[in-house]
């Protein structure tokens, strides 16, 4: 239990986030919404990683002046940090590409702007 939330609560949240993200990516035609979907997906995966490292009642894994008791796993937190940084770069790149596409086609609709077919 994390303050009244059942321990698998975060995993349910992960499933919901990933589900929403895939729904957005498959169903929406607006490219900005597509990017939002990817961002939600990234958050879902990050939440998954952080939850994996959580230990019930654990403290932050800093050894200096650490209170007694178990610590949460540091590795998933390091992974999450890396993943967040990468996600920022990807989002910035995607948005800048959308700007270029918009300049050429005047639309952010992925169906209208599709020059290449076949």
Cβ 57 to other proteins, closest distance in Å? 19
Q: How far apart are CA 66 and CA 52, in angstroms?
A: 21
Q: How far apart are CA 14 and CA 20, in angstroms?
A: 10
The SS3 assignment for 71 reads strand
Q: How many residues belong to the site for other proteins (CB under 8 A)?
A: 34
The SS3 assignment for 2 reads strand
Choose one: 2-10, 54-62, 63-71, 75-83; the region binding other proteins (CB under 8 A).
75-83
105 binds other proteins (CB under 8 A): yes
24 binds other proteins (CB under 8 A): no
The SS3 assignment for 108 reads coil
Cβ 67 to other proteins, closest distance in Å? 23
Choose one: 2-10, 55-63, 64-72, 93-101; the region binding other proteins (CB under 8 A).
93-101
Tokens 């596409």, residue? 101
């Amino acid at each position: 239990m994390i303050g009244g939330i059942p321990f698998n609560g975060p995993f349910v949240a992960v499933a919901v986030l990933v589900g929403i993200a895939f729904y957005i990516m498959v169903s929406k035609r607006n490219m900005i919404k597509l990017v939002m979907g990817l961002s939600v997906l990234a958050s879902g995966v990050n939440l998954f990683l952080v939850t994996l490292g959580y230990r019930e009642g654990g403290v932050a894994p800093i050894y200096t002046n650490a209170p007694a008791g178990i610590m949460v796993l540091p590795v998933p937190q390091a992974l999450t940090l890396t993943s967040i940084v990468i996600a920022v770069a990807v989002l910035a790149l995607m948005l800048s590409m959308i700007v270029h596409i918009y300049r050429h086609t005047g639309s952010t609709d992925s169906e209208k702007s599709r020059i290449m077919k076949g």
